[in-house]
Amino acid sequence: MLHVSMVGCGAIGRGVLELLKDDPDVAFDAVIVPEAAQAEARAALAALAPGARVVDRLGDSRPDLLVECAGHQALAEHVVPALERGIACLVVSVGALSEPGLADRLETAARRGHTQVQLLSGAIGAIDALAAARVGGLDEVVYTGRKPPRAWLGTPAEQVCDLGALTEARVIFEGSARDAARLYPKNANVAATLSLAGLGLDRTQVKLLADPGEQENVHHVAARGAFGGFELTMRGKPLAANPKTSALTVFSVVRALGNRAHAVSI
């Protein structure tokens, strides 16, 4: 059995717990949340993972795996120390690695702990193909993200246009993956993931649109190089509990945990 601790109990974390609550190969021992959110977390865990403790830090516990589902701050606060102790980690908030030096900190911590941090693909696919293409020679990667206007509420897009008054698609950002992840951290994890698998944060091109004609999160990736080329379009339904996040993000966490816990991995 795989013993797991999870950082975060928001929409993503609860979705993961719901899908794995009957899996005999995965046990959630602890859920790490700030003290102010612990009462709400305990209420959620009563039905989803009644055996899990609610704590504000990992402490002396040593799970088989630590899963981050809490946002960018959790990487420095919880993931880095766990890696230094030799605890393998899965990371959802890949966009946090746009922060200068943080990717190096994670790698250094993992090396010190003789363990590994896995960056999850989240809401996008073809990461395996993109990473393989980089080996053979990758020239260009362009990511276009299109979401309904409500998904951009609470972001710098509100300074670009009146999201509630849009009648046609509007470009709200165009630039590098590094800037996209910094300005839109809750929406642009996909751009950061693609850049880390491919050409890097500064060479990966990103365009983000608010589109009142869309009800889904639409991701388009175009890559070309010595390997040839590919294009991928994914239409991901947002989480009901958080329209900024694709439901596929939850499924990617569940898949990664299953690959660690089950007899067959794919």
Task: List binding-site positions for NAD(+).
Answer: 123, 189
Any idea which residues carry the catalytic annotation? 219
The 10 Å Cβ neighbour count of residue 147 is 25
Does residue 168 contact residue 212 with C-beta atoms inside 8 Å?
A: yes
Q: Could you give the C-alpha distances from 180 to 123, 146, 154, 186, 195, in angstroms and in order?
A: 16, 13, 15, 10, 11
- Please return the burial class of 3, using the count of CB atoms within 10 Å of its CB with bins 0-12, 13-18 and 19+: middle
Question: How is residue 244 written in tokens?
Answer: 């900024």
SS3 114: coil
Type of residue numbered 28: F
Output the CA–CA distances (angstroms, integers) from residue 128 to 1, 103, 182, 194, 223, in the order listed: 27, 20, 24, 10, 13
Categorise residue 11: left if φ over 0, alpha if ψ from -120 to 50, beta otherwise: alpha
Residue 43 CA to residue 222 CA, distance in Å, equals: 43
